[in-house]
Amino acid sequence: MDTTVLIDIDRLPKEGLRLSRDFEFLSLDLVEENAVFLEPAHAEVAVRLVGDEILVKGEVTARLSFVCSRCLTPFEFPVASKFDLIYLPEELDGLAEELSDEKIDQMYYNGRQLDLRAVVLEQLNLTFPAKPLCAPGCEGICAVCGEIIRDAKCSCVVKETDLRWNKLKLNVRDK
């Protein structure tokens, strides 16, 4: 199941190819190191060759478990991401370097083949937030007792400590 899915562009039918399949990735494959797959990723993809360009259009869906970066609670993170990509043959790579900055995001395939598994994985990784949060306003963990504030188990009164006051106190003590 987790083998690569190579699309041989010389054998692509003229009308293109439609694929619907599951992909099993390892958490190791993901940019988000604490993510765990709750079910395999699923991709619906249409691949078409136009001239030398491979057009890849589709959607990847997945259900993952992330760990909140503030309160460290695991939470479900559903992915449903559409993509519409163009891959150029790698022979043009050298040329592209001389082109404007706009072309920097351009993607390439090499050897008359496109690894669809890698394409889907890349799209999946692009959907991940830099700092996953269980809820937009997650308040994280209480600095006093270490309980998760959302659960409202703690009744600590957190005093706003102002570093400037601390500094003042130190200064007073110094004298």
User: Could you list the residues that contact Zn ion (CB under 5 A)?
Assistant: 68, 70-71, 134, 138, 142, 144-145, 154, 156
Quote the least distance from Cβ 67 to Zn ion, whole Å: 9
Query: Given the complex with Zn ion, which of 12 and 142 has the nearer CB atom?
Result: 142
d(C-alpha 65, C-alpha 144), whole Å: 28
Query: 3-state secondary structure string, 117-149?
Result: HHHHHHHHHHCCCCCCCCCCCCCCECCCCCCEH
Query: Given the complex with Zn ion, which of 19 and 154 has the nearer CB atom?
Result: 154
Task: Give, for 172, the enclosing helix (H) or strand (E).
Answer: helix 163-174
Quote the least distance from Cβ 16 to Zn ion, whole Å: 43
Position with the least CB separation from Zn ion? 154
Best CA proximity match to 111, nearest among 93, 97, 135, 96 = 93
The helix/strand/coil state of 47 is strand
Query: Given the complex with Zn ion, which of 88 and 134 has the nearer CB atom?
Result: 134
Query: Given the complex with Zn ion, which of 124 and 134 has the nearer CB atom?
Result: 134
Quote the least distance from Cβ 34 to Zn ion, whole Å: 12
Best CA proximity match to 43, nearest among 17, 26, 64, 22 = 22
Quote the least distance from Cβ 65 to Zn ion, whole Å: 13
